[in-house]
Amino acid sequence: MSNMLDAELQVVEIQDLRNHLVIALKDLKTLQMAISSMMIDVSCLRRTVLTTPGAKSRYKRNLAGSLKKARPLIDEAMQSYDVLIQNVDEQIQPLKEPPVTGSSIVQ
């Protein structure tokens, strides 16, 4: 009876782990899309803005200001990933421990 309960618990733990991994992959996909969009915008702006004299220094100032504004969002995303990774690790730890199946005393 105990083995059956252990097996059921392992199935639930594996399902929870899969759910966490699905969430992590969706977050990663969203982050990748955001980064890709930003890279395209920056490339387009750079080509457009840097065609006039004095635009290069103005572009650098604006870019530095944008980076300051984006930094908290990036930090929050990284912190969210850290928490998610910690949750996944906590779910995996019980699965890594070998099950106790009897005495280890050699007679």
Kindly report, residue by residue over 17-63, the tens digit of the pLDDT: 888 888 888 888 888 888 888 888 888 877 777 777 787 788 788 87
pLDDT tier for residue 92 given thresholds of 50, 70 and 90: low
pLDDT of 89 > 60? The answer is yes
- Residue 30 contacts residue 77 (beta carbons within 8 Å): no
Q: Is residue 12 part of a domain?
A: yes
The pair of three-digit structure tokens given for residue 43, joined into one six-digit string = 């490339």
Structurally, how many domains does the chain consist of? 1
Q: Is residue 105 part of a domain?
A: no
Q: Is residue 104 part of a domain?
A: no
Q: Is residue 101 part of a domain?
A: no
Q: Is residue 77 part of a domain?
A: yes
Burial, 76: exposed, middle or buried (Cβ in 10 Å; 0-12, 13-18, 19+)? exposed
Q: Does the pTM exceed 0.85? A: no
- Residue 23 contacts residue 84 (beta carbons within 8 Å): yes
Closest listed residue to residue 27, CA positions, set 68, 74, 77, 70: 77
Q: What is the mean pLDDT of residues 88-92?
A: 70
Q: Is residue 96 part of a domain?
A: no
Q: Is residue 14 part of a domain?
A: yes
Q: What range does the domain containing 30 cover? A: 2-89
**Looking at residue 95, what is its pLDDT?**
57
Q: Is residue 100 part of a domain?
A: no
